[in-house]
Structure formats: structure tokens, C-alpha cells
């Protein structure tokens, strides 16, 4: 576990690693990003920076105020156009569709579920976080950024209390992987908080409930 983070412990939103760019969407809250390669930018993301459960954000100016649309990577897909041209589907009968459009070359795609929004402050931190459904749509070629730990904690903290009010929406978007991505987010938040933080108990209870619901849905006891 780490001690409580301060603003200086992680980079501001202006210096974050770029993970990729939006190439398509499956819904207002479910997007597909193409992961950057070396030829796409000076500093492509390393594997651990774009892994399952990684918090991300997309900058979006609205009415003169810059916002961060917060999200999480809930799935990945490898696409080889020479093996079918349109790429496979990652979907089952009861799982959300993850169906990217036409891809010209071998690439890695990431499914990004939107969680909420926040305003970006002048110093590169966030303020006024909300877990309500984002009202604005993303655009093709919008950049997806790696989210720093401090920003992740700030987004999930309201009046010193950890909140995950987007859980039901995330479960719907991620389908069979919904419980796993929520547990992955909880594990990340645990590592960002002190061991004696009262919110650790809150995270334990949420994780237990999510795992219990997942077992119930799968018919396990």
C-alpha cells in the first residue's frame, strides 16, 4: 500500500501517456480505441499502461471549460486484417457487443467504458467530479490518455468518501467481464489509499457484493 497521494505524486493531465485514439463506438458510453504504436507517437504506452481495468480519460472542451471524460479499459482485441479483413467479434449472447469497424493493418483495440466527467483545473488536476452519465459524445480520433493515480482517487472521492456510482452502467457495458473490471478498479483504489483509511472497508464491502452477484448470475453457490 502507498501513503496518501498529493498533487505532486503523479503527473498533471497535461503530461499523461497517450494510449490511443477513438475509432468507433458501440453506444453513447461504449467506445473502441486503437492503441498507439511507435510510429504513431513519441511515447507509445507500455503494456502495463493499457491493461485491463486501467483508468483513462479523454479531454473534451465544453462551453469554454475543459472537461475530462473518465473511463476504463474493459476489454482488448487483436485484429489482423489478413485473417478475415473485418476482425473477430468479442461477444456472446449475453455480453455487450465489441465490434470495431474496418481496420487496415494489424493492431490492438481497447474497449473503453465511460464512467463520468470532471472539470480540468488550471493546475492540471480535476474538480467537480460526477459519476452521472456523460452528456457529450466522443469523436473519432479523440485521444485516450492514461489516468494518473491521484486523478483516479479524486474522481472516486466525494466528501472524503469513496464512491462507485457508475457500477450498474459498467456491469451492463462490460457484460461477462463487468464484475472483473470493477474488482480490478477496486484493487487499484486499494493500492492508492493508506491501509488505515476507512474507505478500505467500503471497498471490501463493494467487492464482496460484486462477487456475490456475479456468482448468483452464473448459478454458483
Q: Are 162 and 189 in contact (CB under 8 A)?
A: yes
Give me the pLDDT at residue 214, please: 82
Whose cell is 466525494? That residue is 158
Give me the pLDDT at residue 220, please: 47
Residue 159 Rama label (left phi>0; alpha psi -120 to 50; beta): left
Give me the pLDDT at residue 98, please: 59
SS3 sequence of the chain? CCCCCCHHHCCCHHHCCEEEEEEEECCCCEEEEEECCCCCCCCCCCHHHHCCCCEEEEEEEECCEEEEEEEEEEEEEEECHHHCCCCCCCCCCCCCCCCCCCCCCCEEEEEEEEEEEEEECCCCCEEEEECCCCCCCCCCCCEEEECCHHHHHHHHEECCEECCCCHHHHHHHHHHHHHHHHHHHHHHHHHHCCCCCCHHHHHHHHHHHHHHHHHHHCCCC
The percent of residues in the chain predicted with pLDDT above 70, rounded, is 83
Give me the pLDDT at residue 115, please: 98
Q: Are 147 and 16 in contact (CB under 8 A)?
A: yes
Could you tell me how many residues make up the chain?
Answer: 221
Q: What are the average pLDDT values for consecutive 10-residue runs of the chain, which has 221 residues?
A: 39 83 97 93 92 97 95 94 56 53 78 97 91 96 96 94 96 94 97 95 95 75 39
Give me the pLDDT at residue 14, please: 76
Give me the pLDDT at residue 106, please: 85
Give me the pLDDT at residue 103, please: 59
Give me the pLDDT at residue 12, please: 67
Give me the pLDDT at residue 132, please: 96
- The cell for 60 is 473534451
73-121 pLDDT, tens digit each:
999 999 887 765 454 455 445 555 555 555 567 899 999 999 999 999 9
pTM over 0.75: yes
Amino acid at each position: 500500500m502507498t501513503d496518501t497521494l498529493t498533487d505532486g505524486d503523479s503527473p498533471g493531465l497535461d503530461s499523461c501517456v497517450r494510449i490511443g485514439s477513438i475509432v468507433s463506438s458501440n453506444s453513447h458510453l461504449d467506445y473502441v480505441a486503437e492503441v498507439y504504436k511507435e510510429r504513431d507517437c513519441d511515447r507509445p504506452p507500455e503494456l502495463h499502461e493499457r491493461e485491463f481495468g486501467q483508468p483513462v480519460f479523454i479531454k473534451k472542451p465544453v462551453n469554454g471549460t475543459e472537461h475530462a471524460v473518465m473511463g476504463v479499459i474493459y476489454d482488448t482485441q487483436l485484429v489482423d486484417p489478413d485473417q478475415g479483413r473485418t476482425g473477430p467479434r468479442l461477444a456472446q449472447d449475453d455480453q455487450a457487443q465489441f465490434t470495431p469497424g474496418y481496420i487496415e493493418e494489424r493492431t490492438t483495440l481497447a474497449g473503453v467504458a465511460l464512467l463520468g466527467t470532471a472539470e480540468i483545473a488550471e493546475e492540471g488536476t480535476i474538480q467537480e467530479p460526477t459519476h452521472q452519465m456523460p452528456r457529450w459524445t466522443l469523436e473519432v480520433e479523440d485521444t485516450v490518455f492514461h489516468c494518473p493515480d491521484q486523478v483516479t482517487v479524486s474522481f472516486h472521492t466525494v466528501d472524503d468518501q469513496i464512491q462507485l456510482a457508475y457500477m450498474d452502467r459498467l456491469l451492463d457495458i462490460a457484460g461477462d467481464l463487468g464484475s472483473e473490471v470493477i474488482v480490478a478498479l477496486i484493487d487499484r483504489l486499494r493500492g492508492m489509499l493508506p491501509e488505515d483509511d476507512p474507505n478500505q472497508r467500503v471497498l471490501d464491502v463493494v467487492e464482496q457484493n460484486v462477487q456475490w452477484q456475479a456468482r448468483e448470475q452464473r448459478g454458483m453457490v
